[in-house]
C-alpha cells in the first residue's frame, strides 16, 4: 500500500485553488494539474507500507493530535519547488498558524520513525500542491512573473482533521482512498 498522512482542505479553498489552476492553464505548460478532489496538505508521505501498519499509523495520528485544535491559515501566493529555473512542483503557500502545522508534522515524523520508517530528508514546508511539472518542461524567461500575476485570494483555510490515505497510481492520475480520519478538537 502506498500511504500518506494529510490535512484535508475545505471546499472553498479547493475552489480558490481551482481558479488559480484555470488562470495557469492558459499557458501551454507541460504540467499535470492536481484534480480538485485530490487537493490536500501532505504532512508525511510514507510510501509503500505494509497493510499491517495501518492500525498503528491510525493510533499514531490520534496520539500525535490528541491536544490539537483546528488550525487556522490563509492562502498565500504561488511558488515552486525547487526554484523557477527548474520547477518541479507548483504550489500555493500558507500564512497564519503555520508553526502549528509544523508542530503536528514533527510529532508525526517522530512517531513514524518509531514505527520503522526512514527519516524524512526534506524539511517540512506547509504548502498546497496544485501542479507537478512533467519532464521536458523548459520555463519561459518570465515564468516567475507569470506565477506572480496569478492573484490567489487570501481565503481562510481551516484544517480540522488529519487523515491517513492510500494512493493508487493509475495512468489517469492518482486515486486517493481515506483509510482513517482523526478530527482536531
Q: What is the pLDDT of residue 144?
A: 92
Q: What is the pLDDT of residue 172?
A: 87
pTM summary value? 0.95
Bridge partners, 174 (sequence order): none
By CB atoms closer than 10 A (0-12, 13-18, 19+), residue 85 is exposed
d(CA 78, CA 115): 35
Cβ neighbors of 130 (< 8 A, separation 6 or more) are 17, 20, 21, 24, 33, 34, 39, 78, 90, 91, 92
Q: Is the pLDDT of residue 185 over 90?
A: no
Q: What is the pLDDT of residue 62?
A: 97
pLDDT tens across 43-80, in order?
999 999 999 999 999 999 999 999 999 999 999 999 99
27 is catalytic: no
From 127, 131, 163, 165, the catalytic residue: 127
Helices (H), the chain: 11-25, 54-64, 98-114, 143-149
Q: Is the pLDDT of residue 28 over 90?
A: no
pLDDT tens across 116-173, in order?
999 999 999 999 999 999 998 989 889 999 999 999 999 999 999 999 999 999 998 8
From 3, 7, 40, 159, the catalytic residue: 40
The number of C-alpha atoms within 13 Å of 60 and in the hemisphere containing its C-beta is 24
Mind listing the domains of the chain with CATH numbers?
A: 2-183 (3.90.1140.10)
Cβ neighbors of 103 (< 8 A, separation 6 or more) are none
Q: What is the pLDDT of residue 26?
A: 92
CA 72 to chain centre: 16
138 is catalytic: no
Amino acid at each position: 500500500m502506498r500511504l500518506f498522512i494529510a490535512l484535508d482542505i475545505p471546499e472553498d479553498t479547493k475552489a480558490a485553488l481551482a481558479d488559480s489552476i484555470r488562470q495557469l492553464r492558459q499557458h501551454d505548460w507541460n504540467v499535470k494539474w492536481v484534480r480538485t478532489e485530490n487537493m490536500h496538505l501532505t504532512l508525511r508521505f510514507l510510501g509503500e507500507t505494509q497493510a499491517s501498519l495501518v492500525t498503528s499509523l491510525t493510533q499514531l495520528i490520534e496520539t500525535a493530535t490528541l491536544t490539537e485544535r483546528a488550525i487556522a491559515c490563509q492562502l498565500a501566493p504561488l511558488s515552486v519547488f525547487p526554484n523557477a529555473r527548474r520547477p518541479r512542483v507548483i504550489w500555493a503557500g500558507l500564512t497564519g498558524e503555520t508553526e502549528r502545522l509544523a508542530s503536528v508534522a514533527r510529532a508525526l515524523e517522530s512517531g513514524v520513525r518509531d514505527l520503522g520508517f526512514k527519516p524524512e530528508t526534506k524539511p517540512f514546508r506547509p504548502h498546497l500542491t496544485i501542479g507537478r511539472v512533467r519532464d521536458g518542461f523548459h520555463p519561459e524567461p518570465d515564468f516567475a512573473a507569470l506565477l506572480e500575476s496569478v492573484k490567489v485570494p487570501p481565503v481562510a483555510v481551516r484544517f480540522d482533521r488529519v487523515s491517513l490515505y492510500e494512493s493508487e497510481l493509475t495512468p489517469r492520475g492518482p486515486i486517493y482512498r481515506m483509510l482513517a480520519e482523526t478530527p482536531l478538537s
